[in-house]
Chain A
Amino acid sequence: MELLIFGSLTDIIGTNKQVLDNPVDTEMLKASLLKQYPSLGQVPYFLAINKTMVQGNHPLQEGDVVALMPAFSGG
């Protein structure tokens, strides 16, 4: 599955795109990202699977594109 990273999260993860071995679901994905990048715990963000926002836990399938979207505040 492909991970797209937006806004300030690219500073934390260090890239705007990653290919990951399929995590089972979005909770596992978030947990493994948080373990790897503890600063993610400080930044509110939401997930979108294949361009649709998701709330709560969702299963992930091969070929899914997951976007991590933080809040933008500048102007």
Chain B
Amino acid sequence: MENQQRYIRQMILPGFGLTAQENLARARVLIVGMGALGCPALQYLVGAGVGQIGIVDPDLVSESNLHRQLLYGPADIGKSKVAIAAGAMQLQNPAIQISTYPIAIERQNALDLMEGYDLVIDATDNFQAKYLLNDATAVLDIPLIYGAVTRYQGQVSVFHFPDQDAISYSYRDLFPVKPVDTISGSCESLGVIGVLPGIIGCLQAAEAIKIITGIGKPLAGRLYTHDFLETSNYEIAIQKNHQIQTMTRDAFLLSDNHAMIDLDEIDVDEVSVETFLELKNKGDVFVLDVREREEYPPIDFSDAQIPMSELTQQIDSLPNKDICVICHQGIRSVYAAQQIQAKKSVKTYSLKGGITAYFNKTT
């Protein structure tokens, strides 16, 4: 191996040595998501000498990324994340071969993208992608290093990799069915302090290094949750859910057509206030308010109010006509419309911008 001096401080660690370093140099890691988890994970894997790294992200750098995605600066705004990240990392460690994929990972390309990689790091920020990565790595039987944050807490685990009892777990053992991405319960996004995904992304890099080199005890079978505010952690032993079927290549590729409808893929017609008023005045639509009962302001232009928290039980009580769903800001209503459309074959609309937009326009 060239340039051993570069890695000397990790090679002298007990249990590490030349063999571990050579394993790193031979390793091929795919990082999906080049945001707040992906940036630190990439940096430490490049630093440690992981030979080949693929990075996947279709996004361009935006200003609100900069407080937590430290590979990017103001001059990079509007440029491809993977291109900037690869450029910076090439300077840090020219020996590393970095492949960039400025595309979104999808069911159709996931298996091809992952083929040839030894492990995958989940640095994505939505359930759709997380389940896709979980299922694809299950099909290919390669380890997945899962990471996620929500406000002041973050999580790490390792799936599809045997624990000390030789049992491998799947993200579906924790949550068999994909939650919906807009389920946050409010229309506001949650916020994040940069150092938290920084910590989680570093833990993901650490797990990757442990798996590649065979040192230590990876987080297989354990869900590790870090709390930023309390500087504490909580570890839960995962249990196998025996109702989960083994994911096969065919099932993975076909799962779009399966009985389990993927709500995110249901297209909802988001209408402006003007279009909404036209539809309503023609009497063509049933207007459904999905805000919780205590939400303000009360309105007099809906035909029914079924709070989001009760909607699934009450979808059958809705009339068989086109339905326009409204909420405070027009986010929950999209999700509600998707749920309705999945269960009833009626056309659904969502009022874009919600009741806020309605009152801005009409008063």
A residues in contact (CB < 8 Å) with B: 4, 6-8, 11-12, 38-39, 41-44, 46, 48, 51-55, 67, 69-75
Contacts and interface: CB of A to CB of B under 8 A. Distances in A.
Given A43-B185, A44-B175, A46-B175, A74 B148 contact: yes
A12 B308 CA distance: 14
A72 B150 contact: yes
A4 B290 CA distance: 29
Contact of B310 (A38, A43, A48): A38
Interface residues of B, number: 46
A52 B174 contact: no
A43 B183 CA distance: 7
B309 interface: yes
A46 B174 contact: yes
B235 A75 contact: no
A50 to B, nearest CB: 9
Contacts of A48: 236-237
A55 to B, nearest CB: 6
Contacts of A6: 153, 225, 234
B236 A52 contact: yes
A6 B229 CA distance: 12
Contacts of B239: 52-55
Contacts of A39: 185, 292, 308-309
A53 B185 contact: no
Interface in B235-292: 235-239, 241, 292
A53 B238 contact: yes
A42 B290 CA distance: 13
A73 B150 contact: yes
A3 to B, nearest CB: 13
B309 A41 contact: yes
Nearest to B184: A8
B81 to A, nearest CB: 13
A73 B236 contact: no
Contacts of A38: 307, 309-310
Interface stretch (B3-11, B29-37, B42-50, B93-101): B29-37
Given A41-B309, A71-B179, A51 B237 contact: yes
B223 A73 contact: no
A11 B292 CA distance: 15
B223 A69 contact: yes
A50 B192 CA distance: 29
A24 to B, nearest CB: 21
A73 B148 contact: yes
Contacts of A51: 234-237
Interface in B217-238: 223, 225, 234-238
A25 to B, nearest CB: 17
A74 B150 contact: yes
Contacts of B354: none
30 contacts: A6-B153, A6-B225, A7-B151, A8-B151, A8-B185, A11-B185, A12-B185, A39-B308, A41-B310, A41-B312, A42-B185, A48-B236, A53-B223, A53-B236, A54-B239, A55-B239, A55-B241, A67-B236, A69-B225, A71-B179, A72-B153, A72-B155, A73-B148, A73-B179, A74-B149, A74-B190, A74-B197, A75-B36, A75-B38, A75-B148
